Structure 1
Amino acid sequence: MSEPSPPPKDGPSTFADGVRLAIGTLSVFPVRPGVVDRRAGGVAMAVAPLVGAAIGAVGGLVLAISLWLGTASLPASVLAVAAVALLTRGLHLDGLADLADGLGSGKPAERALEIMKRSDIGPFGVVTLVFILLVQVTALWEATAGAGAGAGALTLVAACAAGRLALTWACRAGIPPARPDGLGAMVAGTVRRSVAVAVTALVLAGTAALFHLHGTGAFDPWSSGSPSESPGGWGYWAYVEMPHSGVGGLPGAGATGAGLVLGLGPFFAPLAMLVGLLAAWAVRRRAVRRLGGVTGDVLGALVEIATATTLLACTILTN
């Protein structure tokens, strides 16, 4: 993830400065820059999941409009993922490619950091980008085709929020920067563990509430049908309708997936987000061991990895 934000300025920052920094750094949304310092960086990383949710909501809107216009689920999912990439200037994807090249080179930390700083993308980066985008598109396609535009859009919102929640944890106190300058140096170690825990609890609770409201039919801006008419998947029917029995009282065809979602209810999405955070944690740990800390590229890579893993986990938990 590159550093589009202005260099640090002297003087104490405010909470609003941190919010502006989060929006300006993590999205293309135009904001007026404020005071940029480590305190603002900590606020920015703490509120990053809200920016991610907003980006996911725009991507979900693109998905819903595409389907409403008659576009098939697969190309609609491609457009939604492309919209998310455009809204982030492709910075997170660029960071993922750079990290893949740096770690894939097998070089010592100093040399790997030099490789990551280059503007070109090597073979490791290209292959990683192809696979991560395939996972994101096909997982969103599966979510949309199986449960409709509303559930697909909310899943994208949850995945994008999880991707930015990975930033909150990657910048918690105790995690050093790999370089003495740059975005990584400004935000590394700026988030207290208690803040990260509180933000995570709020994001997971909010996600569960959104999926519950969508599932019960109280909130579904993309569908005019009643929840009981949902063909299955993640709506009201998915966790209220009991799985039917097959031969000998054993679960019949299709009952396994329904029974699983029945047990998880709207909490399958927060669980998938935790899986995404776990994947980001593993990559972050590897990067810190190899590079000596985090960089802007490492942070961008964690966004994409957590997003893709969350989408994939949603499809696994609901099938």
Structure 2
Amino acid sequence: MGPLLDAWRLAVGTLTAVPVAPPRTVDARTAGRAMLLAPLAAAPLALVVAGIGLVGPEVGLTPLVTAVLAIAGLVAGSRALHLDGLADTADGLTASYDRRRSLEVMKSGAAGPAGVAAVVLVLLLQVTALTSVLRQDHGWLVAGVLVCLSRCSLALACTRGVPGARPDGLGATYVGSVRPLATVSIWLGSALVAALLAGLPGLLAVLAAAAAVVLLLRRAVTRFGGVTGDVFGAAVELSLAALLVVASA
């Protein structure tokens, strides 16, 4: 139970603002388990989004205002960690064709024009798509579940065989920590959940999210030589955007 508890604490403490005791041990095995637990660890964030989506219309808020508040709650609940990764990844991809220079830009932490544009555009996409989702029957429930499913992207990004861009940094412990079979299993599980919840559109949403993450990882490996913690964050945000866009249709 100890290793699993450490993985749970690592997942919750890293991916949410929920206060938990620190894990006693953080190694590659614990990190891999934490990434597999990420969809469950995101349950508090899903409850925030679903709760706002349910209560908003009851107090007279429009779907657009409700969606903005829901996404704002999600950002606050994750301490904007994934948005920071999205911004740094976008800056790195546009900074230079030199790998070392791109990694230096990403490590600096300062958001450049590309990073700001990426955050604004992805947030607009998420809010607009969520507005449509909330108009659907039980849209608040669908939105909450999609928040959890978007965290499956972390297992894919940490799959063994996906190289790391550098030996240090926040993501170094997580790189290659998830077995391919575990990644396939968690995505098949997410596809089943989505299909049971929303039928064919739910299944298509999961496929779109997986495709978006794969394209991001391929680009990161080509440009940076591998993935970083920032790429993990970008994967989460792009996955959620893809899920919401397809579900909104």
**Is TM > 0.5 for Structure 1 vs Structure 2?**
yes
Tell whether 2:243 aligns with 1:313.
Answer: no
Q: Work out which of the residue numbers 65, 86, 96 in structure 1 matches 2:55.
A: 65
Question: For residue 177 of structure 1, what is the aligned residue in structure 2?
Answer: 164
Q: Is the 8 A contact 2:12 2:42 kept in 1?
A: no
Question: For residue 207 of structure 2, what is the aligned residue in structure 1?
Answer: 274
Q: Is the 8 A contact 1:279 1:305 kept in 2?
A: yes
Deviation at 1:41, TM superposition (A): 0.3
Which shows bigger deviation, 154-163 or 280-289? 154-163
RMSD: 1.5
Please identify which structure carries the higher helix content: 2
Q: Is the 8 A contact 2:45 2:147 kept in 1?
A: yes
Q: List per-residue Cα deviations over 1:177-235 (Å, max 9, x = no partner).
A: 11111222101111111111112222222333344xxxxxxxxxxxxxxxxxxxxxxxx
Tell whether 2:131 aligns with 1:141.
Answer: yes
| 1:155-174 map, 5 Å | 155-174=142-161
Deviation at 1:162, TM superposition (A): 3.1
Deviation at 1:156, TM superposition (A): 1.8
Distance 2:144 2:195 in 1: 12
| 1:243-258 map, 5 Å | none
Tell whether 2:38 aligns with 1:48.
Answer: yes
Q: Which structure: larger Rg?
A: 1
DSSP-derived class of the 2:111 partner: coil
Equivalent residue letter for 2:101: R
How many residue pairs are counted as aligned between the two chains?
A: 247
Distance 1:276 1:154 in 2: 18
Q: Cα distance 1:141–1:87, how it changes in 2: closer, same or farther (>3 A)?
A: same
Distance 1:205 1:54 in 2: 21
Q: Work out which of the residue numbers 13, 22, 25 in structure 1 matches 2:14.
A: 25
Q: Identity over the aligned pairs, expressed in percent?
A: 40
Q: List per-residue Cα deviations over 1:146-169 (Å, max 9, x = no partner).
A: x14x22x23322332232111101
Question: For residue 255 of structure 1, what is the aligned residue in structure 2?
Answer: none
Question: Normalising by structure 1, what TM-score?
Answer: 0.74
Tell whether 2:215 aligns with 1:285.
Answer: no
Deviation at 1:129, TM superposition (A): 0.9
DSSP-derived class of the 2:134 partner: helix
Question: For residue 202 of structure 1, what is the aligned residue in structure 2?
Answer: 189
Question: Normalising by structure 2, what TM-score?
Answer: 0.94
Tell whether 2:231 aligns with 1:298.
Answer: yes
Deviation at 1:272, TM superposition (A): 0.4
Distance 2:208 2:172 in 1: 27
Q: Is the 8 A contact 2:134 2:143 kept in 1?
A: no
* Runs of 5+ consecutive residues of structure 1 not aligned to the other structure: 1-12, 212-265
Q: Work out which of the residue numbers 77, 83, 100 in structure 1 matches 2:73.
A: 83
Q: List per-residue Cα deviations over 1:236-273 (Å, max 9, x = no partner).
A: xxxxxxxxxxxxxxxxxxxxxxxxxxxxxx23213202
